[in-house]
């Protein structure tokens, strides 16, 4: 079989020269954004067409599609080039971001065509997160719209510093200079707070090509560059290589006992063989012994390169940690403030636990304080209890374990994170870190000499939190009450936290919205944890309808201490019993947000104890609970005596 290798080929050729020239071109990543129907996809189609990136077979397909789905009469509908999904072509809208590639003799481009509809804002953010420049399109007839502002804010938050204000469809306002200037004024009015370094307004018609790649003779009053001239020359250098060295460890490469390499992509700065580096989270220092690459070791590597580092000694480093410059270290903290853009249809709720993911690190996090929501129209800071889909807010976050980070303003790679829903695994939000919170640095855990174990031993018991969950009227309080009486009778030290009682005191400021329900549970879980720490057997009797909060409560307690008890009584039976007359009122619409009626109840999937109450007495239920407690205590004693190991 013939084996072709490039080496065997003639070295001199026009093609090689051409390719060498290609390699020297810089790359610009930009996005098109703005409101729906402002002509984003049409503009990209125009750019691709004018820079000869459309092949004959693609053009033929485009002509076919234009006749079928087009919105431009007999003309070719360039939007159909980028609206690649069937649903998009049928509905004539852009749903998700499309990435297209083109080049001119001066530069290479990757363009993200992003959707204008508010409901697809998360896809616009996806396109913006990797872009250096934003083309904000405005329909000359419409002027600055709500989505123009929203997209500009998101672009600014995500670190974009260069904007082209494309005043499109200028042909439809008779190439009127006054319209153009009024729009520029409107845009500058609101965007001066957004920190853009350059805003370049260009009057254009994407459909007919005016001022896109060639200068229009219909706008002789305009003396600035055409779009393509500007894109070819604008300087967006971030100079990540000038920043302090940051190397998030992605993967530990350990093929055998003799090799232990830390693989990752340099986020900023550079590193040379022999350099001192510090492990961000432990502060331990070491030296770079080798920079390993496939073609042979490197002497130096810079931001953007994916390398493998071998250190001088066996310091402890794993995925999620960072190797950094000893002179300029990142912050390591478990509390910080951040801008958050929310993507999910389920609102962000303070107190709820999410997965926080940086480029290589992962921990759980809760928003401890939603400081305010940003109104996208006037930038007003508004008080808010939750952040709805597509909203932007400033939050304080608390993570379960400290993470190493820089502020997003200092470093776009090490200052960003995403939030993931624990149950659906959906990416629900994106965060840009503003600063660490001083209280995280200054408040350390006070270590106490008497421990939980000692306090529980004195009571001759083991701490436990029995967490009763179930619908209103399911029998939680009755069973809890009887259970406590039985425990009390056997000399145990107990306490019941009852939903209704706590709402009269500690939680009397809370209502029944989703946000308040989450906070309600968070406070009770913290109180239960303190009581368990005091050595008590705590019985929590709360509807606690959301599995996310029950999980959060579980994670607060020590292993084996949290006992989820599902008091399982069917809705119909609860409504029939209706001990407090609440179901009748809720079903009449007199009470809002009533669990099981117009607010959901998420049944536990794997409770430690599942009590099916129908046809059973409270005594039978309590026997099951006592049995469980005794078995656990016996098992733990055996473990302590070595029997379990």
Partner 1 sequence: MNIALTHLQRLEAESIHIFREVAAAFAKPVMLYSVGKDSSVLMHLAMKAFYPAKPPFPFLHVDTTWKFREMIAFRDQMAQKLGFDLLVHVNEDGVRDNINPFVHGSNTHTHVMKTVALRQALDKYGFDAAFGGARRDEEKSRAKERIFSFRNAQHVWDPKNQRPEMWKIFNTRIASGESIRVFPLSNWTELDIWQYILQEEIPIVPLYFAKERPVVERDGMLILRDDERMQLRPGETVENRLVRFRTLGCYPLTGAIESDADTLEAIVGEMLTARTSERQGRLIDRDEAGSMEKKKREGYF
As annotated, the active-site residues are 544
Name which of residues 225 to 284 contact partner 1 (CB under 8 A).
Answer: 241, 250-251, 253-255, 259, 261, 263-265, 270
* Given 126, 268, 396, 520, the residue binding partner 1 (CB under 8 A): 126
Site for partner 1 contains 58 (CB under 8 A)? yes
Torsion of CA 403, 524, 520, 432, to 10 degrees: 0
Place of tokens 């009269």: 504
Q: Name the H helices within 421-569.
A: 438-442, 452-458, 476-489, 499-504, 514-533, 547-556
Site for partner 1 contains 558 (CB under 8 A)? no
- Comparing CB distances to partner 1, the nearer of 37 and 96 is 96
Using left for φ > 0, alpha for ψ between -120 and 50, and beta otherwise, residue 554 falls in alpha
Span near partner 1 by CB under 8 A; candidates 147-155, 228-236, 286-294, 476-484: 286-294
Residues counted in the chain: 645
From residue 529, alpha-carbon distances to 234, 402, 571 in Å are 57, 21, 30
Integer Cα distance of 356 and 419 in angstroms: 5
* Given 75, 198, 274, 293, the residue binding partner 1 (CB under 8 A): 293
Point out which residues pair with 564 in neighbouring strands: 467
Name which of residues 310 to 369 contact partner 1 (CB under 8 A).
Answer: 319, 343, 355, 357-360
Span near partner 1 by CB under 8 A; candidates 296-304, 433-441, 468-476, 503-511: 296-304
The CB-of-349 to partner 1 minimum distance in angstroms stands at 19
The CB-of-265 to partner 1 minimum distance in angstroms stands at 5
* Given 36, 93, 110, 496, the residue binding partner 1 (CB under 8 A): 110
Site for partner 1 contains 22 (CB under 8 A)? yes
Using left for φ > 0, alpha for ψ between -120 and 50, and beta otherwise, residue 578 falls in left
The CB-of-73 to partner 1 minimum distance in angstroms stands at 20
- Comparing CB distances to partner 1, the nearer of 22 and 617 is 22
Site for partner 1 contains 92 (CB under 8 A)? no
* Given 28, 125, 487, 611, the residue binding partner 1 (CB under 8 A): 125
Name which of residues 378 to 437 contact partner 1 (CB under 8 A).
Answer: 412-413, 416-418, 420, 425-427, 430
Q: Is 546 helix (H, G, I), strand (E, B) or coil?
A: coil
The CB-of-560 to partner 1 minimum distance in angstroms stands at 25
Name which of residues 63 to 82 contact partner 1 (CB under 8 A).
Answer: 64-65, 68, 81-82
From residue 275, alpha-carbon distances to 264, 309, 349, 406, 449 in Å are 17, 11, 45, 21, 43
Q: Name the H helices within 446-513.
A: 452-458, 476-489, 499-504
The CB-of-254 to partner 1 minimum distance in angstroms stands at 8
Pairing of strands 259-265, 306-311: antiparallel
* Given 36, 50, 51, 61, the residue binding partner 1 (CB under 8 A): 61
- Contact at 8 Å (CB) between 627 and 583? no
* Given 36, 95, 172, 482, the residue binding partner 1 (CB under 8 A): 95
The CB-of-610 to partner 1 minimum distance in angstroms stands at 22
From residue 642, alpha-carbon distances to 55, 331, 636, 645 in Å are 74, 42, 10, 6
- Comparing CB distances to partner 1, the nearer of 61 and 482 is 61
Site for partner 1 contains 290 (CB under 8 A)? no
The CB-of-512 to partner 1 minimum distance in angstroms stands at 30
Q: Is 533 helix (H, G, I), strand (E, B) or coil?
A: helix
Name which of residues 608 to 637 contact partner 1 (CB under 8 A).
Answer: none
The CB-of-357 to partner 1 minimum distance in angstroms stands at 6
Write phi, then psi, for 115 (nearest 5 degrees). -75, 150
Using left for φ > 0, alpha for ψ between -120 and 50, and beta otherwise, residue 307 falls in beta
Name which of residues 449 to 478 contact partner 1 (CB under 8 A).
Answer: none
């Amino acid at each position: 079989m013939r084996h072709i290798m490039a080496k065997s080929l003639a070295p001199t050729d026009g093609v090689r020269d051409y390719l060498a020239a290609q390699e020297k071109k810089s790359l610009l990543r930009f996005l098109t954004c703005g409101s729906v129907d402002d002509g984003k996809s049409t503009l990209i189609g125009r750019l691709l067409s004018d820079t000869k990136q459309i092949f004959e077979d693609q053009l033929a397909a485009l002509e076919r599609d234009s006749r079928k789905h087009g919105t431009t009469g007999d003309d070719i509908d360039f939007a159909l080039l980028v609206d690649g999904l069937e649903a998009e072509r049928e509905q004539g809208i852009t749903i998700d971001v499309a990435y297209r590639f083109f080049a001119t003799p001066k530069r290479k481009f990757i363009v993200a065509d992003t959707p204008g509809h508010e409901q697809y804002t998360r896809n616009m953010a996806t396109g913006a997160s990797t872009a250096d420049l934003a083309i904000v399109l405005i329909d000359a007839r419409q002027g600055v719209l709500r989505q123009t502002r929203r997209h500009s804010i998101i672009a600014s938050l995500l670190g974009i510093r260069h904007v082209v204000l494309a005043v499109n469809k200028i042909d439809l306002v008779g190439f009127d200079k006054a319209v153009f200037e009024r729009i520029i004024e409107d845009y500058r009015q609101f965007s001066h707070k957004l920190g853009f370094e350059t805003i370049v307004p260009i009057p254009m018609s994407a459909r007919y090509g005016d001022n896109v790649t060639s200068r229009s003779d219909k706008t002789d009053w305009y003396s600035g560059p055409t779009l393509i001239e500007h894109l070819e020359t604008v300087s967006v250098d971030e100079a990540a290589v000038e920043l302090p060295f940051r190397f998030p460890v992605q993967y530990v490469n350990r093929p055998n006992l003799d090799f232990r390499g830390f693989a990752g992509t340099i986020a900023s700065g550079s590193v040379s063989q022999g350099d001192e580096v510090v492990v961000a989270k432990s502060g331990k220092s070491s030296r770079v012994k080798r920079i390993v690459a496939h073609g042979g070791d490197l002497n130096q590597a810079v931001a953007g390169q994916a390398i493998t580092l071998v250190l001088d000694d066996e310091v402890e480093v794993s995925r999620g940690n960072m190797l950094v410059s000893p002179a300029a270290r990142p912050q390591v903290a478990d509390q910080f403030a951040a801008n958050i853009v929310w993507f999910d249809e389920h609102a962000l709720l303070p107190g709820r636990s999410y997965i926080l993911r940086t480029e290589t690190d992962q921990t759980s996090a809760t928003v401890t304080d939603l400081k305010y929501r940003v109104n996208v129209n006037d930038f007003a800071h508004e008080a808010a209890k939750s952040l709805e889909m597509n909203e932007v807010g400033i939050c304080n976050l608390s993570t379960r374990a400290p993470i190493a980070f820089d502020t997003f303003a200092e470093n776009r790679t090490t200052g960003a994170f995403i939030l993931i829903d624990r149950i659906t695994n959906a990416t629900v939000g994106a965060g840009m870190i503003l600063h660490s919170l001083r209280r995280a640095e200054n408040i350390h855990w006070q270590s106490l000499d008497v421990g939980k174990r000692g306090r529980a031993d004195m009571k001759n018991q083991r701490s436990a939190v029995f967490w009763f969950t179930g619908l209103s009227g399911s029998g939680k309080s009755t069973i809890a009450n009887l259970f406590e009486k039985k425990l009390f009778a056997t000399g145990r030290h107990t306490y019941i936290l009852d939903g209704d009682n706590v709402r009269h005191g500690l939680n009397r400021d809370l209502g029944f919205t989703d946000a308040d329900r989450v906070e309600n549970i968070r406070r009770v879980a913290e109180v239960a944890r303190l009581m368990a720490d005091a050595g008590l057997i705590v019985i929590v009797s709360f509807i606690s309808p959301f599995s996310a909060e029950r999980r959060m409560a579980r994670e607060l307690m020590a292993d084996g201490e949290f006992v989820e008890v599902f008091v399982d009584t069917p809705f119909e039976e609860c409504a029939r019993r209706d001990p407090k007359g609440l179901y009748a009122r809720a079903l009449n619409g007199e009470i809002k947000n009533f669990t099981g009626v117009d607010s959901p109840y998420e049944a536990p999937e794997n409770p430690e104890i599942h009590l099916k109450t129908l046809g059973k007495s409270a005594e039978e239920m309590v026997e099951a609970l006592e049995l469980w407690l005794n078995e656990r205590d016996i098992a733990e004693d055996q473990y302590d005596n070595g029997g379990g190991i």
